[in-house]
């Protein structure tokens, strides 16, 4: 029996690559191994014909000629519209579907401007800056730029992998610099005097995949862009911002929040598209039981591994998107075990945390076609050009409809028909979606949620800006009125000082930018080191270290399994040793919450819905060992880790004793009912806000000391809040109604991972009362506003 499988597996041999119709691929998957009952819905999206436009006169003939050599005779209508707006100096956001040629839409005007600049005496009369959320995307975009522009347009990467000896050349000579927000924040803006000639000539700033800048990360990036605009003013430039986004609700408003500038949206997609068959797939129940005897479905990762095996064996180029680094390793490893040795070498994992040379090698193999199957985290969701893919597997709902369509759109980029399969996790939201396809296919994508005025975000950026150049009254239009309240507070803390010229100055010796945690990771990343060799395997974010690389945790890297011998929080190092356990691990924690302030509160009959600031104290207290692929609990181990405190934003609802009587919930059953409602509401909030359940947390209390009532909290998992809880407050009626309906519709008897059990519950999913949660939510919603 191959490792990680639960049934005997056929070992496949290599067959020639095929471009079979997606309907035929799906029929094969359904017919194989008795899977006919797992397909819950099939959506057929028709092909779309292209609409072309003439090249704008402002695009240089060299660019047109290069595009023609690449097979582009004329641009699509939306590309030409974006080119005209960009050359006219408008901030534009190109928000069209995957594989709709957004890159050409912004590259043509940018490279035309840079070619104009090469005619200046110094050869760099104009410069452009490109920002991508990942290094892989920046590397891919550099390749595209060099295909379109003559060599005199000098395009260069500038990120953490750029050798020190090359960085000075980039600063002095590159006209098109491709980087990421982290490097702009830490490496370019604090050293702006060394970048003076580049910033003085800066004409365009490209922000690719801008829909990924949401929540706290998006709020940080918004402030980084304001700091960039401020320094450009200092050097006499006013760059034009060009943004590319997946299809999103109100992209112009999102672009304006991100850049601080009025934006025009181009949203009508004129690109051709092959037919897409989108299947919704629910893994079967197993004979195993989980916590408290609940039925357990086969995991989405195990199911994805089997489907990936069949598709690779069929010669179908496939990417399986998974939700975590560990899952990427598991899916690739299981598919390799299931396949003949010749094909096993054509399957790999791709995720963050790999070393730079490892990532580059995988990207080359994917582009060349040597890799036939890839298990990837969302690192490949973004615009990395992966031509020739015929199928995409999504092991779990990726958190937003925008991401769903981004991932599904990775296949069929050459106009052929494509297959996408969403494999439901044992999770309330996934279960709801595969049985309510209208929630995916008949609703618009979400609005991007970010809050640049979040004081936890704005304050450190004010310090960073003051360290770059003293802050004056003229900067208020960039940082907004919220800065007026924060500047005196920062002075009281001894971080800034106001001098007689009316400007604010940074007072410390250390770099202010180093105090800004751009991605909200909670501190320095933890290095994962192999004990026997001292080799650095990778890193993990500090915020995730307590739950993922605690002592005793199982860690996967490049198909090899390790056990964490020790997590040293002082040195930020996790020491691991090679191992081959028959289980995975899942952390358990405890959480306490207190209300700091209530911003808004609405009566829901006798109950009440509120939104405000809270303090959350969380502590990892142990971990469970679970059998691989089944979820069966094998045991529990205690841990002694320090608590972590988070001040954030939350939405909460309370009910009265009379309402509990109306719902026939005795007080001894209340903890289970509230706990179950909390879990399910966390699971369903991503349907209404651009988040997933790992961005948010929750606490249920039978009698909370601040509200003095039974209360359920759902909070943002980021300091200062990320906007998700506020979105829940605004859409609470829809959100909690869907939550109640999802619990009631689940086929289990007492509660399972598909309705009220949570994979990150710190209490072992005990107590839970499924029927009580339905009654509790029903009596709450009975008093909800009817508007």
Neighbours of 119 (CB within 10 A): 10
Give 715-729 pLDDT, tens digit per residue: 998 878 888 899 899
Contact 348, 421 (CB under 8 A): no
- Asked if residue 619 lies in contact with residue 598, where contact means CB atoms within 8 angstroms, the answer is no
Looking at every residue in the chain, the average pLDDT score rounds to 88
Tell me the pLDDT band of 1, cut-offs 50, 70 and 90.
very low
**Cα separation of the two ends of the chain:** 58
Q: pLDDT for 543-555, tens place per residue?
A: 788 988 999 999 8
Residue 112: which of 65, 78, 69 has the closest Cα? 65
CA distances from 135 to 131, 207, 380 (A): 10, 13, 11
Closest Cα to residue 749, out of 129, 285, 126?
Answer: 285
Q: Return the pLDDT at 336.
A: 94
CA distance 104 to 82: 10
* Stretch 686-690: mean pLDDT: 81
Band (pLDDT 50/70/90 cuts) for residue 745 is confident
| Degrees to nearest 5, angle at CA 667 with 663 and 670 | 70
Mean pLDDT of the region 301-306:
94
- Residue 16 has what pLDDT? 42
Measure the CA–CA gap between 513 and 533, rounded to whole angstroms: 34
pLDDT band at 629 (very low <50, low <70, confident <90, very high): low
User: Which is higher by pLDDT, 446 or 417?
Assistant: 417
The pLDDT score that the predictor gives to residue 33 is 76
How far is 741 from 242, CA to CA, in rounded Å?
42
CA atoms within 13 A on the CB side of 286: 24
**Does residue 382 or residue 137 have the better pLDDT?**
137
What totals of helices (H) and strands (E) does the chain contain, helices first? 26, 29
As given in the structure block, the two tokens for residue 47 are: 């092909």
For residue 787, the model assigns a pLDDT of 61
pLDDT at 13 > cutoff 50: no
Share of the chain above pLDDT 70, in %: 93
Q: Higher-confidence residue: 267 or 515?
A: 267
Which of 101-105, 422-426, 756-760 is least confident?
A: 756-760
Among the ranges given (53-62, 79-88, 132-141, 513-522), the one the predictor scored with the smallest mean pLDDT = 513-522
pLDDT of residue 381: 53
Mean pLDDT highest for which of 5-19, 48-62, 449-463, 510-524? 48-62
Lowest-confidence pick of 97-101, 118-122, 736-740: 97-101
Confidence category of residue 3, pLDDT binned at 50, 70, 90: very low
Least confident of 140-149, 213-222, 467-476, 515-524: 515-524
Confidence class for position 414, pLDDT limits 50, 70, 90: low
Q: Which of 422, 451, 514 is nearest to 257 (CA)?
A: 451
Burial class (CB in 10 A: 0-12, 13-18, 19+), 444: exposed
How many other C-beta atoms are found inside a 10 Å radius of the C-beta of residue 355?
14
**Residue 323 contacts residue 403 (beta carbons within 8 Å):** no
> What pLDDT does residue 15 have?
39
Which residue's entry shows tokens 């991007």? Answer: 448
DSSP 433-448: HHH-THHHHSSPPPBP
Q: Which of 727, 713, 716, 725 is nearest to 694 (CA)?
A: 716
Average pLDDT over residues 300-313: 94
pLDDT of residue 7: 34
Is the pLDDT reported for residue 228 higher than 50? yes
Q: What is the pLDDT of residue 556?
A: 81
State pLDDT tens for residues 137-194.
Answer: 898 899 999 999 999 999 999 998 899 889 999 999 999 999 999 999 999 999 999 9
Q: What is the per-residue pLDDT for 362?
A: 81
């Amino acid at each position: 029996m191959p490792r990680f499988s639960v049934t005997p597996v056929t070992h496949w041999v290599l067959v020639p690559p095929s471009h079979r119709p997606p309907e035929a691929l799906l029929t094969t998957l359904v017919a194989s191994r008795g899977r006919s009952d797992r397909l819950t819905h099939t959506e057929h999206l028709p092909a779309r014909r292209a609409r072309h436009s003439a090249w704008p006169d402002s695009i240089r003939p060299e660019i047109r000629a290069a595009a023609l050599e690449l097979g582009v005779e004329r641009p699509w209508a939306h590309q030409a519209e974006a080119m005209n707006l960009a050359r006219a100096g408008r901030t534009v956001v190109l928000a069209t579907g995957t594989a709709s040629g957004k890159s050409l839409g912004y590259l043509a005007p940018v490279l035309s401007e840079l070619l104009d600049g090469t005619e200046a005496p110094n050869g760099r009369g104009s410069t452009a800056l490109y920002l991508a959320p990942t290094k892989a995307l920046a590397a891919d975009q550099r390749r595209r730029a060099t295909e379109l522009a003559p060599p005199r347009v000098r395009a260069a990467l500038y990120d953490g992998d750029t050798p020190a000896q090359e960085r000075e050349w980039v600063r002095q000579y590159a006209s098109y610099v491709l980087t990421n927000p982290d490097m702009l924040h830490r490496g370019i803006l604090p050293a702006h005097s060394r970048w003076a000639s580049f910033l003085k000539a800066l004409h365009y700033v490209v922000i690719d995949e801008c829909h990924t800048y949401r929540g706290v990360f998006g709020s940080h990036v918004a402030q980084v862009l304001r700091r960039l605009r401020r320094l450009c003013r200092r050097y006499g430039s006013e760059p034009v911002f060009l943004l590319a986004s997946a299809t999103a609700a109100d992209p112009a408003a999102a672009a304006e929040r991100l850049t601080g500038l009025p934006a025009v949206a181009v949203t009508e997609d004129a690109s051709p598209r092959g037919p897409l068959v989108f299947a919704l797939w629910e893994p079967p129940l197993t004979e195993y039981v989980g916590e408290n005897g609940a039925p357990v479905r086969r995991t989405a990762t195990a199911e994805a591994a089997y489907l990936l095996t069949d598709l690779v064996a069929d010669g179908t180029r496939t990417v399986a998107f998974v939700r975590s680094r560990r899952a990427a390793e598991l899916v690739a490893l299981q598919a390799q075990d299931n396949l003949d040795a010749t094909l096993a070498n054509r399957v790999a994992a791709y995720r963050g945390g790999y070393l730079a040379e490892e990532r580059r090698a995988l990207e080359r193999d994917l582009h060349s076609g040597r890799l036939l199957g890839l298990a990837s985290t969302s690192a490949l969701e973004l615009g990395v050009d992966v031509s020739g893919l015929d199928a995409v597997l999504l092991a779990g709902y990726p958190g937003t409809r925008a991401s769903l369509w981004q991932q599904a759109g990775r296949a069929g980029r050459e106009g052929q028909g494509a297959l996408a399969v969403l494999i439901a996790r044992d999770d309330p939201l996934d279960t709801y979606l595969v049985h309510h396809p209208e929630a995916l296919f008949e609703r618009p994508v979400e609005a991007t949620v970010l809050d640049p005025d979040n004081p936890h975000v704005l304050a450190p950026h004010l310090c960073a800006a003051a360290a770059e150049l003293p802050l004056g009254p003229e900067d208020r239009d960039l940082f907004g009125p919220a800065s007026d309240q924060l500047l005196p507070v920062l002075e009281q803390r001894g971080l800034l000082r106001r001098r007689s010229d009316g400007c604010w100055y940074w007072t410390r010796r250390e770099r202010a930018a180093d105090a800004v945690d751009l991605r909200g990771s909670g501190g320095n990343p933890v290095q994962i080191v192999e004990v026997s060799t001292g080799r650095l395997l990778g890193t993990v974010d500090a915020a995730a270290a307590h739950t993922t690389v605690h002592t005793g945790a199982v860690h996967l890297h490049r198909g090899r399994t390790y056990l964490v011998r020790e997590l040293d929080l002082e040195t930020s190092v996790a020491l691991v040793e090679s191992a081959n356990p028959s289980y995975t691990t899942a952390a358990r924690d405890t959480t306490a919450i207190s209300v700091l302030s209530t911003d808004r509160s609405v009566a829901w009959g006798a109950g009440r819905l509120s939104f405000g600031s809270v303090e959350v104290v969380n502590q990892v207290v142990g971990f469970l060992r679970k059998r691989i692929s089944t979820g069966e609990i094998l045991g529990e181990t205690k841990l002694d880790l320090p608590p972590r405190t988070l001040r954030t934003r939350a939405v909460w609802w309370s009910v009265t004793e009379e309402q509990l009587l109306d719902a026939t919930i005795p007080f001894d059953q209340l903890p289970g009912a509230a706990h179950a409602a909390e879990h399910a509401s966390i699971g369903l909030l991503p349907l209404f806000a651009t988040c997933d359940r790992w961005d948010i947390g929750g606490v249920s209390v039978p009698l909370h000391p601040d509200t003095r009532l039974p209360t359920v909290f759902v909070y943002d998992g980021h300091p200062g809040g990320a906007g998700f809880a506020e979105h829940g407050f605004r859409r609470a009626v829809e959100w909690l109604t869907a939550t109640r309906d999802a619990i009631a519709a689940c086929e289990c008897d007492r509660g399972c991972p598909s309705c009220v059990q949570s994979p990150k519950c710190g209490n072992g999913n005990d107590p839970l009362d499924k029927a009580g949660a339905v009654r509790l939510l029903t009596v709450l919603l009975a008093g909800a506003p009817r508007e």
